[in-house]
Each structure stands twice: as structure tokens, then as C-alpha cells.
Amino acid sequence: MKQYDIVIVGGGPAGLAAALEAKKSGAQSVIILERDGELGGILNQCIHNGFGLHTFKEELTGPEYAARFSEKVKEEKIEYLLNTMVLDISSDKMVTAMNREEGLFEIQAKAVVLAMGCRERSRGALNIPGYRPAGVFSAGTAQRLVNIEGYLPGREVVILGSGDIGLIMARRMTLEGAKVKVVAELMPYSGGLKRNIVQCLDDYGIPLKLSHTVVDIQGKDRVTGITLAQVDENRRPIPGTEEFYSCDTLLLSCGLIPENELSRGMGVEINPVTSGPVVNECLETSIPGVFACGNVLHVHDLVDFVSQEAAAAGRHAAEYVAAGEDKIFNEKKYVIVPKGGVRYTVPSSINPAKMDDEQVIRFRVGDVYKNRYTSVYVNGERIVHRKRPVMAPGEMEEVKLKKEQFMDCPEETEIIVTIEEA
Amino acid sequence: MEKRELICIGCPMGCMVTVSLDDGKVCEVTGNTCKRGDVYARKEVTNPTRIVTSSVRVNGGTYPVVPVKTREDIPKGKIRDCMKALKEVVVDAPVKIGDVVLKNVADTGIDVIATKDNEMHDVGRR
């Protein structure tokens, strides 16, 4: 059995940033376990630019952004294992993993950072009726086929879902010579970033049909076409609005789901809204010494924020290990309640003794709002009231809380994050 | 007088901006709610540019393709020519991040560079 102070599960942007910051914060024995053949995670297939505007003040492609971090990990001589699959983590932080060289092995960790990322919602989860021919891909699968494996999975394409990967793939497949006929979105608004709508669809004259969904897939061996229909306000297809599109490929970009099988297996409490762990101000889950960051915690739009969040998780993991037997258990816990259009917050509680001087609270809203305010109430008193010209479910929001605002709060303190009209 | 409608990408607001052009010159920008919309709209109608990202074939690499980008943004109208030129490019492994894979793509004066390493097949761990 091996022993490490910190085991980081996943070598994508979250895992890399967590490892670097843990090392910087004094952790000596850190290891990253990555199931793919290289570090960088999904960034390796995101070859478009627009990454790192916040972190590096320049527009990098996904692989370039990943390289900035993986090079540093190598410079810092942080250990990592590739082609290594973590199978199980016990509640006392025994990590069971396997790879070709070592077979099945165990690592006892003092702290664990969960950085497994997320997975795309599949056709099965979407319940799309019709035949089950070849040619139905998740947008991310198509992205890997084109950008890493080097072949085009189809010539005539329809995309369901206006998530960012779907929009990016609409442009990518168009540039590679495919005809993208339409992008259909079930909701009355797009799930992707505005700039992607403009630069991936509008630039290439690809129509976006809001409040539309796929009601039938045709084709026995290979997709031959799909039927779109408009949906009503309850997202039910409206009879008579069906429209047939001939195509050989259907891409699905209908949302991402944090990949928390390992977290659930070890007994970490999961937030049903995010499908990610419930965490406190240290990004620590319900199991002390187990931290979570990146898309396994909640799905992000921008990798820059993943890196920031993961760095915090890495730092707190290092602090946890350094505290050793002398851990001070100050269990004061102020719960953050999302209200009025705010779907969730990360973290979902704060301990004033442990919070950062300026603690970032990230959240998403459930609808499109214009000219509203983000407000925070502490025991009924409003401490934040910030104007937001527009908020949308596709764009993550944040609010900053100052430590000094919580120093004199009573034991039973409730924090409310909400959206208010002017 | 010509009118063009754009969606500003300066922020999530996504303002519908109308640009009035007279003989190719911008005479009015309306619909924007801040200065960024004005700047974006003027550039977008007079000289729209984009960084183009794609991939090119690799001989003997760990992976069959390597991702690339134009080092700087190129005129939007040159995107198709750029893609056409990249289709013909094949490079030999190893490729290093930053390597020039095609000089002066489509007469834009801009080089296309690799955005990722691609080691020789036997070196890489596939």
C-alpha cells in the first residue's frame, strides 16, 4: 500500500490547479491519478480559442491552457499516474485504482481532492423516441473524433441542445465541410454563451430554433433524418408543428452531469440541484479532508473559474494535512439559502473562522432576468445589493462576501442569496 | 444608406445593435447600452476578424492530428481559404506547441502554429 498526503482524482484543469496550489501551500506528497493517456482532461479536445482571458489575460486554445498547467506540474515534479482508473475511495480515504503497469493497487491518503469533471447527458437520459441507428453522438464525442482521432463523424448534421460544446461543434463541423442544418433548443433561451451563438452559428448562417425538440429519429442502420417539433411552455411538443430534416448525424448537447460515482461510493453528501457534493467555504465535502472542485462540484462555463476554485481546494487540502492531529474543530456553520431565482450556491455554508477574507460564492439562476439585483441577507439584514443588467441560466454568477461581515454573527445565522427587482 | 443588425458579444446582455452605413462608413450605432457595443459594432462591420482554430494531419505521431491556430486573427472573409489551405498540410512528428505548420496562410501574412505537442508514436503513451 502506498501513502500520500493528498491524492487528486482527475488530471484535468481542476486536478492540475489543485495539485499546483497544494504544492505551493506546502504539501510535499501529492499525486494526481488520471484515467486518460495525458494530462489536461477535456481541454485537449477543446481546440477552439477563448480560454484563459481571466487567468492569463490572453485568449488561448484548450490544449494551450492545459499545457500552461501541465508544464508547471512537471516543473514542480508533482507525481502523476496516467492511464490509471480510480475504482473506489473508502470513507477513510483509501483509494483503490488500477493501471496496466501496477494492476490493482491501494493508496492511503490523508486528504482527497475530487476533480473528476462531468459527463454529457446521453440519448437514453433524454428519452428521445425513434429508431436507434448509428449516427447519434454526444457533441463531446464528435469533438473528440474530429479534433483528436482526426475524422469527421458525419456530413449532414442536426444538433439538439444549444450548450457550448454543441455550438462549438456546429462551427467546427461546418469548417471541416459538413452541413449543419439546424440547432434546436428545448428551452426558450440558449444554454450557451452569447459569444458562441454569434461566432459559431450567426457567422455561418446556422439557424437556432428555440423551444424546439427532436420528436423522432429515423434510419435503421444509420440516421437518415430527424423530426423537430415546437414545444409549448410546458415543453410538450405541439402537434402539427413537426418538421422533417434529412441528416446522417444527430449531435446532442443537452447538459452536463457531474461524475460523482466515486463521491457517492464514499458517502459524500450530494446536492440534488448541482448533482455535485455539498461543500463548505473550504470546498470540503461532508467528509472532512475530502475536497471537490471543478465540474465534478458544479458545471462551469469558463475554465478560468475552474482553475480558481480548484486552487482554493488544493490550498485547503494542504492546510488540512498540515493541521494534522492539531485540527481545530470550530464547527460554526452558517448555511447559505438560495432563494428567488437562485438555484444553488457553492459553497452552501460558511464558517466565519475559516472563510477567506473575501469569499467568492458562485451560483446559477433558473431563468433569464433583466435589470435585477443580486442581494445577500444575513439574519434579515441586506449586506449586498448589486445591480445586474442581465442574468441567464447559461452564465454563472458570483457574489463576494467579506469575512469582517460575519465576525460578530450569532451561532444561528442564516445567509440568503437572492435575486430582487429594482 | 445600409443598415446591419448585430448581437453584441461584449457581455451576456447580448444587445441587438443596429449599425447604419453610408458608402461603407459607419454613421450611426444604435441599440447598444454601453460603449463596448459601439466599439464592437464598428469593428464588426468595417473589419471583422477571427482567430481560426483547426487541426492538421500528422505523420507518425501519437495522435493522427495536431490542433492548430492562426497566430493572430485573420479577416473573417479569409476563413474558408484558410481552412482549404490547412486541408493540404501534413506535418511529421514530433510536433511541438508553437511550431509553425503553415506560413502566411491564404496570403494573410499570418502563420498557423501548433497548439499542442504531438510526440513520435513510440514515445507517446497511447
Q: Is residue B74 a contact partner of residue B105, using CB atoms and an 8 Å limit?
A: yes
As a whole number, the mean pLDDT across chain A is 94
pLDDT at A408: 83
Q: Which CATH architecture has domain A122-254?
A: 3-Layer(bba) Sandwich (3.50)
Buried b (16+ CB within 10 A) or exposed e, A288-310: ebbbbbbbbbbbbbbbbbbbbbb
What distance in Å separates the CA atoms of residue A104 and residue A112, rounded to the nearest whole number? 19
Q: How many residues does chain B have?
A: 126
* Secondary element (H or E) of residue A416: strand A414-421
Of the partner residues A175, A194, A390, the one whose CB lies closest to the CB of residue B7? A194
Top residue of B116, B121, B123, B126 to mutate, by most chain A CBs within 10 Å, is B116
* Distance to chain A for B82, nearest Cα, Å: 10
Topology adopted by domain A1-120+256-325: FAD/NAD(P)-binding domain (3.50.50)
Q: Is the pLDDT of residue B124 over 50?
A: no
pLDDT at A325: 64
In CATH terms, B2-47 corresponds, of 2.40.128, 2.20.25, 1.10.3470, 2.20.28, to 2.20.25
- pLDDT-derived band of residue A50, with 50, 70 and 90 as boundaries? confident
* Distance to chain A for B99, nearest Cα, Å: 13
Q: What is the complex's ipTM, to 2 decimals?
A: 0.89
Domain residue spans of chain A = 1-120+256-325, 122-254, 332-422
Top residue of A147, A189, A190, A365 to mutate, by most chain B CBs within 10 Å, is A147
Domain residue spans of chain B = 2-47, 53-114
Helix, strand, coil percentages, rounded to 5, for chain B = 20, 40, 40
What distance in Å separates the CA atoms of residue A355 and residue A258, rounded to the nearest whole number? 25
Chain A contacts of B51, Cβ < 8 Å? Answer: 49, 59
Above pLDDT 90, what percent of chain B? Answer: 63
Q: Do A147 and B116 touch (CB under 8 A)?
A: no
The model's pLDDT over A107-139, given as tens digits with 9 standing for 90+, comes to 999 999 999 999 999 998 998 999 999 999 999
In CATH terms, B53-114 corresponds, of 3.65.10.10, 3.30.450.40, 3.90.470.10, 3.10.530.10, to 3.10.530.10
Chain A contacts of B76, Cβ < 8 Å? Answer: 203
Above pLDDT 90, what percent of chain A? Answer: 84
* Distance to chain B for A195, nearest Cα, Å: 5
What 3-state class would DSSP assign to A279? Answer: coil
Q: Is the pLDDT of residue B11 over 90?
A: no
Of the partner residues B57, B115, B126, the one whose CB lies closest to the CB of residue A64? B115
pLDDT at A338: 97
